Structure 1
Amino acid sequence: MIRHTDLGSSSFAQRRKLLDLLQQCLITLGGNRPGKIYGRLDCRAGKRMKPENRVFFWNEAEALELGYRPCAVCLPGAYKAWKSKT
């Protein structure tokens, strides 16, 4: 898990590092730290979160291992499967 604020001291540095990580395929999912929710990087719900609450994951297994749940907006199938287990 990578916190958005750990990517750099300025917003420009954070965006630059984030772009590098995306191009290297080192992150594929984003998450909300206080809500423990993960989803796709292009999710309309996820785009509205504050950078200090945003985290990034390499894959779904990493997010689930850390106790995050799927987003109901961008991952409805995974969310329904998670919901039926709890």
Structure 2
Amino acid sequence: MIYHAALGKGFAASRRLKQLIDQDKIQLAGNRKLRIYGTFDCFSGKRMKKENRVFFVSEKEAIESGYRCCKHCWCKTQRAR
């Protein structure tokens, strides 16, 4: 699990995040307080505060960390199985 706030601030953080996504080192995002994870294009995930956002390498990692799938993008992740 990678905390969004730990990536830094400003443009450097955005650049680092883009690199991690391009290298497939992170594939899902989650809300630390609500313990929900979902896809990057999920409407709910886009509205999340940076300090609450975490990233996961896989769905397995998210589930093992005690997170549940987002109801808005549930169909996308469940159909892909």
TM-score (ref. length: structure 2):
0.90
Structure 1 residues 3-82: aligned runs within 5 Å: 3-8=3-8, 10-76=9-75
Q: Which runs of 4+ in 1 moved over 2 A?
A: 76-79
Cα distance in 1 between the residues matched to 2:77 and 2:21: 23
Q: Secondary structure, in 3 states, of the residue corresponding to 1:6?
A: helix
- Tell me the percent identity: 53
Q: Secondary structure, in 3 states, of the residue corresponding to 1:34?
A: coil
Q: Secondary structure, in 3 states, of the residue corresponding to 1:38?
A: strand
Q: Secondary structure, in 3 states, of the residue corresponding to 2:55?
A: strand
Residue ranges of structure 2 left out of the alignment (5+ in a row): none
User: Aligned pair in 2 of structure 1 residues 15, 59: CA closer, same or farther (>3 Å)?
Assistant: same
Aligned length: 78
The offset of 1:76, in angstroms, is 3.6
What letter corresponds to residue 60 of structure 1 in structure 2? E
TM-score (ref. length: structure 1):
0.85
Residue ranges of structure 1 left out of the alignment (5+ in a row): 80-86
Cα distance in 2 between the residues matched to 1:28 and 1:77: 13
